[in-house]
């Protein structure tokens, strides 16, 4: 007896995608709180590490379910790509938080706050968009959201350039420059991974147009 799912509309994948998106938004908001408040840094980083583990659990469950599903609701490579890119956003968020603690950063910079706010905006846009995958007739509504995510990622690129320029021109301590450059790159990397999510979503729409 084969234990394979034959129905093409497996809602469990959409449920897991949406749970992963909720976890991403929670992670981004916790990071913003950490950077804006700049207190209880170790505790906040630990909370973000727990959320990163939660995201891993969703990703692993998606992969396991995909292995046991005969006809998934989306193409297999799209399911894998969407699961992995959303997981990557949370990974970068957690890495940025851990570096703040590891490097004993004493205060947040305006660029760090700006990048953290952009991560929240991108994550919230993804969370609003992912449920539209459930119905083919709703998928075209995904495209404007992907354009907005791309716009936000471009803003993050600009913020990173401004942040690095300020560091190189105005920070006399080389060690501080190195520490903040790495933190900025993880923060901006989270927005890059958010754009990767948008690209996967856009590709799904084009395939189902």
- Render pLDDT for 22-53 as a digit per residue (tens, 0 to 9): 999 999 999 999 999 999 999 999 999 999 99
Residue 2 lies in a domain: no
Measured in whole angstroms, the distance separating CA 142 from the mean position of its chain's CA atoms is 17
Structural domain count, the chain: 1
**pLDDT greater than 60 at residue 2:** no
**Residue 142 to residue 104: CA distance in whole angstroms:** 41
Instruction: For residue 45, tell me if it sits in a domain.
Output: yes
Residue 18 clears pLDDT 90, i.e. is over it:
yes
Please report which confidence band the pLDDT of residue 5 belongs to, taking 50, 70 and 90 as the band edges: very low
Q: Residue 176 maps to which CATH number?
A: 1.20.58.220
Q: What are phi and psi of 5, to 5 degrees?
A: -85, 130
pLDDT for the residue numbered 10: 64
Nearest to 93 by CA among 166, 40, 35: 35
| Percentage of the chain modeled with pLDDT above 90 | 91
In a domain, 4, yes or no: no
To 10 degrees, what angle do helices 142-170 and 110-129 make?
A: 170
Residue 61 confidence (pLDDT) = 97
Residue 3 in domain: no
Query: What pLDDT, on the 0 to 100 scale, is given for residue 208?
Result: 84
More confident position, 193 or 8: 193
3-class secondary-structure state, position 69: strand
Distance CA 34, CA 123 (A): 17
What is the reported pLDDT for 9? 55
The share of the chain scoring above pLDDT 70, in percent, equals: 95
Tokens read off for 103: 């490097």
Kindly state whether residue 101 falls inside one of the protein's structural domains.
Answer: yes
- pLDDT, residue 175, reads 96
Q: What is the mean pLDDT of residues 75-91?
A: 97
């Amino acid at each position: 007896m084969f234990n394979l799912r034959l129905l093409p509309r497996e809602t469990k994948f959409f449920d897991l995608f949406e749970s992963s998106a909720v976890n991403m938004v929670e992670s981004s908001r916790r990071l913003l709180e950490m950077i804006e408040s700049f207190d209880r840094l170790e505790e906040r980083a630990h909370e973000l590490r727990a959320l990163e583990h939660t995201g891993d659990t969703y990703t692993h469950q998606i992969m396991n379910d995909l292995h046991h599903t005969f006809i998934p609701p989306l193409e297999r490579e799209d399911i894998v790509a969407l699961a992995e890119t959303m997981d990557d956003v949370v990974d970068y968020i957690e890495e940025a938080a851990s570096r703040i603690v590891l490097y004993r950063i004493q205060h947040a910079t305006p660029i760090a706050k700006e990048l953290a706010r952009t991560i929240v905006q991108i994550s919230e846009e993804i969370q609003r968009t992912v449920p539209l995958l459930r119905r083919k007739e709703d998928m075209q509504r995904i495209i404007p959201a992907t354009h907005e995510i791309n716009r936000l990622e471009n803003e993050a690129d600009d913020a990173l350039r401004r942040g690095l320029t300020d560091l190189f021109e105005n920070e006399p301590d080389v060690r501080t420059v190195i520490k903040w450059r790495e933190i900025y790159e993880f923060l901006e990397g989270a927005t890059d991974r958010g754009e990767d999510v948008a690209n996967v979503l856009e590709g799904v729409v084009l395939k189902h147009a």
